[in-house]
């Protein structure tokens, strides 16, 4: 929080300047702030997923993505959306969400237990192999 406030103060003080260092500070502040906007919805979406409330989870995760998440949480949100699509019999949408997860984080991998799942494990492996 202190870092965010410091970045905000620097941004306000230097708002009229457009030098490269100032732009970098503004972008860093923007990235930090944007990454926090959707955190509450992201966490709620994971809780809903864990409680098998997939419709609510999908709504919350998409809202979190729309509000803004850091790259790591973007990948995680897309992963959970992929899982939801896979268990709901929508393999095309499952594949699409895994692509988005990998776009957000090219090093994204499933945990061993997730990778072994019979519905989404092969879909993820297929998407990852085509990159």
Q: Which of 9-18, 28-37, 71-80 has the lowest mean pLDDT?
A: 9-18
What's the pLDDT at 35?
Answer: 52
> What are the structure tokens assigned to 9, written together?
């103060």
Q: State the SS3 of 67-115.
A: HCCCHHHHHHHHHHHHHHHHHCCCHHHHHHHHHHHHHHCCCCCCCHHHH
The span from the CA of 35 to the CA of 4, in Å, is 11
Tens-place pLDDT, residues 88-120: 999 999 999 999 999 999 999 999 999 999 999
Q: Which two tokens stand for residue 122?
A: 């092969």
Task: Give yes or no for residue 122 having a pLDDT over 50.
Answer: yes
Give residue-wise pLDDT tens across range 16-36.
554 555 554 444 454 455 557
Residue 74, judged by CB atoms within 10 A of its CB (0-12, 13-18, 19+), counts as buried
Q: When comparing pLDDT for 126 and 16, which is higher?
A: 126
DSSP state of 16: T
Contact 64, 41 (CB under 8 A): yes
Q: Is the pTM of this model over 0.75?
A: no
């Amino acid at each position: 929080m202190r870092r965010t406030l410091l970045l905000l103060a620097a941004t306000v003080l230097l708002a009229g300047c457009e030098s490269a260092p100032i732009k970098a500070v503004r972008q860093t502040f923007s990235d930090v702030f944007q990454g926090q906007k959707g955190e509450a919805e992201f966490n709620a979406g994971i809780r809903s997923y864990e409680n098998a409330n997939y419709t609510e989870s999908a709504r919350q995760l998409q809202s979190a993505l729309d509000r803004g998440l850091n790259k790591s949480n973007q990948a995680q949100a897309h992963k959970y959306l992929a899982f939801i699509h896979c268990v709901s019999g929508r393999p095309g949408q499952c594949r699409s969400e895994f692509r988005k997860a990998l776009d957000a984080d090219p090093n994204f991998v499933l945990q061993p237990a997730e990778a072994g799942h019979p519905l989404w494990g092969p879909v993820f492996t297929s998407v990852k192999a085509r990159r």
